[in-house]
Amino acid sequence: MNSLRSALSKFRPKKLAKPTRDNQDKGQITTVHSISAEDLPRIRETATVVSDPQDVSNLRRVLLTTPTDETPSERVYREAYEGVQLWNHHYWTEHNKLFHKQRNDFIKLNATIEEPQLDAERMSVFYRKFLDDNREKHWRYNLEWYRKHFGLLPLDMKARLSRLRVRLYR
């Protein structure tokens, strides 16, 4: 539980699904301006929480609903989904750090005293080179992204069927 709290403290949730019977199944999201860390576990029982964009990766973290009567299939899906999110976050964190480092190095090498800021045309040289140098890496990322997300589909279907069974046999 402490590891969950420490992970959650790294971002401030801004949106959550409106926890009413009417739109809980539709996945609608309503904006909320602040959620305290103490309220988050209670809110996650009925709502999906979406964070602000994280500093380096620029991705929004999604915390799926964790009902009190979560089935084993739902838990497996939720944990797999969180694992894919974590993988995605790590990739973009490393990618963006590399991009910013190389961009700053390029600016230092090409900026002059008279023109400390490079214009868009001169920066386009860097952008083109960065994309060319990382083409293979981006290609591998895209393939892995599809593989991981298509791998979630059977787990999601199994979780939805288990939730349907719970609702039908209560």
**Quick check: 135 pLDDT over 70?**
yes
Could you give the number of structural domains in the chain?
A: 2
Percent of the chain with pLDDT over 90: 52
Residues 95 and 118 in one domain: yes
Residues 58 and 136 in one domain: no
Judge whether 89 and 57 are in contact, CB under 8 Å: yes
39, 67, 95 - which closes a domain: 67
- Can you give the residue range of the structural domain that contains 55? 1-67
**Quick check: 12 pLDDT over 50?**
no
Residues 79 and 155 in one domain: yes
Number of H helices, E strands in the chain: 6, 4
In this prediction, residues 147-166 reach a mean pLDDT of 96
Residues 141 and 100 in one domain: yes
Residues 95 and 168 in one domain: yes
Residues 80 and 27 in one domain: no
Residues 111 and 50 in one domain: no
Question: How far is it, in rounded angstroms, from Cα 25 to Cα 31?
Answer: 17
How far is C-alpha 52 from the chain's CA centre? Answer: 10
Higher local confidence (pLDDT), 109 or 92: 92
Sheet order of strands, 29-31 included? 29-31, 13-17, 49-53, 60-63
